[in-house]
Structure 1
Amino acid sequence: MARFIFITGGVVSSLGKGLASAALGALLQARGYSVRLRKLDPYLNVDPGTMSPFEHGEVFVTDDGAETDLDLGHYERFTGVSARKTDSISAGRIYSNVLENERRGDYLGKTIQVIPHVTDEIKDFIDIGSDEVDFMLCEIGGTVGDIEGLPFFEAIRQFSQDKPRGQCIFVHLTLLPFIKASGELKTKPTQHSVKELRSIGLAPDILVCRSEGPIPAKEREKLALFCNVRSDAVISAQDLRSIYEAPLAYHREGLDQAILDAFRIAPTPRPQLKRWEDVADRIYNPEGTVNIAIVGKYVQLEDAYKSIAEALTHGGMANRVKVQIEWVDAELFDHEDPARHLAGFHAILVPGGFGERGTEGKIKTAQFARERKIPYLGICLGMQMAVIEAARNVAGLKTAGSEEFDHEAGKKRFEPVVYHLKEWVQGNYTVQRALNDDKGGTMRLGAYDAVLTEGSKVAEIYGTTQIEERHRHRYEVDTSYREKLEKVGLLFTGMSPDGRLPEVVEWTDHPWFIGVQFHPELKSKPFAPHPLFADFVRAAKESSRLV
Structure 2
Amino acid sequence: MARYIFITGGVVSSLGKGLASAALGALLQARGFTVRLRKLDPYLNVDPGTMSPFEHGEVFVTDDGAETDLDLGHYERFTGVAARRTDSVSSGRIYSNVLEKERRGDYLGKTIQVIPHVTNEIKDFLAIGADEVDFMLCEIGGTVGDIEGLPFFEAIRQFSHESPRGQCIFMHLTLLPYLAASGELKTKPTQHSVKELQSIGIAPDVLVCRSEQPIPEKERQKIALFCNVRPEAVIPAYDLKSIYEAPLAYHAAGLDQAVLDAFGITPAPRPNLGVWEDVVDRLANPEGEVRIAIVGKYVQLEDAYKSIKEALVHGGIANRVRVQVEWIDASVFDAEDPGPALEAYHAILVPGGFGERGTEGKIRAATYAREKKIPYFGICLGMQMACIEAARSLAGIPDAGSEEFDHEAGKRRFTPVVYHLKEWVQGNHKVERKLGDDKGGTMRLGAYSATLKDGSRVAQIYGTTRIEERHRHRYEVDTKFRKDLEAKGLTFSGMSPDGKLPEIVEHEDHPWFIGVQFHPELKSKPFDPHPLFADFVRAAVEVSRLV
TMscore range, shorter length:
over 0.9
Give the drift of 1:106: 0.3
Deviation string for 1:123-176 (max 9, x for gaps)? Answer: 000010000000000000000000000000000000001101110000000000
Contact 1:248 1:276 in 2 (8 A): yes
Matched residue, 1:352 = 352
Q: Distance in 2 between matches of 1:251 and 1:390?
A: 51
Give the drift of 1:235: 0.1
Partner AA of 2:214 in structure 1: P
Partner AA of 1:305 in structure 2: Y
Contact 1:289 1:323 in 2 (8 A): yes
Matched residue, 2:389 = 389
Matched residue, 1:164 = 164
Q: Distance in 2 between matches of 1:460 and 1:88?
A: 35
Partner AA of 2:120 in structure 1: D
Bigger drift between 476-485 and 211-220 goes to 211-220
Matched residue, 1:530 = 530
User: How high is the TM-score relative to the length of structure 1?
Assistant: 1.00
Matched residue, 2:65 = 65
Summarize the alignment of residues 491-506 of structure 1 with structure 2, pairs less than 5 Å apart.
491-506=491-506
Matched residue, 2:186 = 186
Matched residue, 1:410 = 410
Matched residue, 1:104 = 104
Q: Distance in 2 between matches of 1:114 and 1:340?
A: 58
Instruction: State the number of aligned residues.
Output: 547
Partner AA of 2:417 in structure 1: V
Q: Distance in 2 between matches of 1:436 and 1:113?
A: 34
Classify the secondary structure of the residue corresponding to 2:20. helix
Matched residue, 1:204 = 204
Partner AA of 1:435 in structure 2: L
Summarize the alignment of residues 463-478 of structure 1 with structure 2, pairs less than 5 Å apart.
463-478=463-478
Classify the secondary structure of the residue corresponding to 1:251. helix
Summarize the alignment of residues 222-371 of structure 1 with structure 2, pairs less than 5 Å apart.
222-371=222-371
Partner AA of 1:118 in structure 2: V
Deviation string for 1:226-264 (max 9, x for gaps)? Answer: 000000000000000000000000000000000000000
Q: Distance in 1 between matches of 2:482 and 2:464?
A: 23
Give the drift of 1:512: 0.2
Matched residue, 2:95 = 95
Q: Distance in 2 between matches of 1:491 and 1:279?
A: 36
Partner AA of 1:528 in structure 2: D
Matched, 1:420 2:420: yes
Q: Distance in 2 between matches of 1:281 and 1:127?
A: 39
Q: Distance in 1 between matches of 2:451 and 2:488?
A: 22
Matched, 1:116 2:116: yes
Matched residue, 1:46 = 46
Contact 1:213 1:239 in 2 (8 A): no
Partner AA of 1:355 in structure 2: G
Classify the secondary structure of the residue corresponding to 1:208. strand
Bigger drift between 429-438 and 301-310 goes to 429-438
Contact 1:123 1:159 in 2 (8 A): yes
Classify the secondary structure of the residue corresponding to 1:545. helix
Q: Distance in 2 between matches of 1:404 and 1:206?
A: 50
Matched residue, 1:519 = 519
Classify the secondary structure of the residue corresponding to 2:546. coil
Deviation string for 1:30-58 (max 9, x for gaps)? Answer: 00000000000000000000000000000
Q: Distance in 1 between matches of 2:424 and 2:180?
A: 59
Give the drift of 1:344: 1.5
Q: Distance in 2 between matches of 1:412 and 1:222?
A: 69
Classify the secondary structure of the residue corresponding to 1:269. coil
Q: Distance in 2 between matches of 1:47 and 1:429?
A: 24
Matched residue, 1:453 = 453
Partner AA of 1:109 in structure 2: G
Q: Distance in 2 between matches of 1:214 and 1:73?
A: 29
Partner AA of 1:111 in structure 2: T
Matched residue, 1:152 = 152
Classify the secondary structure of the residue corresponding to 1:514. strand
Q: Distance in 2 between matches of 1:396 and 1:237?
A: 58
Moved over 3 A (4+): none
Deviation string for 1:349-394 (max 9, x for gaps)? Answer: 0000000000000000000000000000000000000000000011
Q: Distance in 1 between matches of 2:508 and 2:2?
A: 52
Uncovered stretches (5+) of structure 1, i.e. residues with no partner? none
Partner AA of 1:367 in structure 2: T
Matched, 1:479 2:475: no
User: How high is the TM-score relative to the length of structure 2?
Assistant: 1.00
Matched residue, 1:5 = 5
Contact 1:77 1:525 in 2 (8 A): yes
Q: Distance in 2 between matches of 1:271 and 1:290?
A: 34
Matched residue, 1:32 = 32
Partner AA of 1:499 in structure 2: G
Contact 1:406 1:413 in 2 (8 A): yes
Contact 1:197 1:203 in 2 (8 A): yes
Classify the secondary structure of the residue corresponding to 1:152. helix
Uncovered stretches (5+) of structure 2, i.e. residues with no partner? none
Partner AA of 1:176 in structure 2: L
Q: Distance in 1 between matches of 2:123 and 2:437?
A: 33
Classify the secondary structure of the residue corresponding to 2:164. coil
Give the drift of 1:213: 2.6
Q: Distance in 1 between matches of 2:265 and 2:468?
A: 39
Classify the secondary structure of the residue corresponding to 2:464. coil
Partner AA of 1:454 in structure 2: D
Give the drift of 1:437: 1.0
Contact 1:41 1:90 in 2 (8 A): yes
Q: Distance in 1 between matches of 2:321 and 2:468?
A: 28
Q: Distance in 1 between matches of 2:492 and 2:378?
A: 14
Classify the secondary structure of the residue corresponding to 2:384. helix
Contact 1:211 1:237 in 2 (8 A): yes
Deviation string for 1:255-307 (max 9, x for gaps)? Answer: 00000000001111000000000000000000000000000000000000000
Matched residue, 1:16 = 16
Matched, 1:432 2:425: no
Q: Distance in 1 between matches of 2:545 and 2:263?
A: 54
Partner AA of 1:309 in structure 2: K
Give the drift of 1:214: 2.0
Q: Distance in 2 between matches of 1:129 and 1:209?
A: 31
Q: Distance in 2 between matches of 1:507 and 1:318?
A: 24
Q: Distance in 1 between matches of 2:213 and 2:508?
A: 52
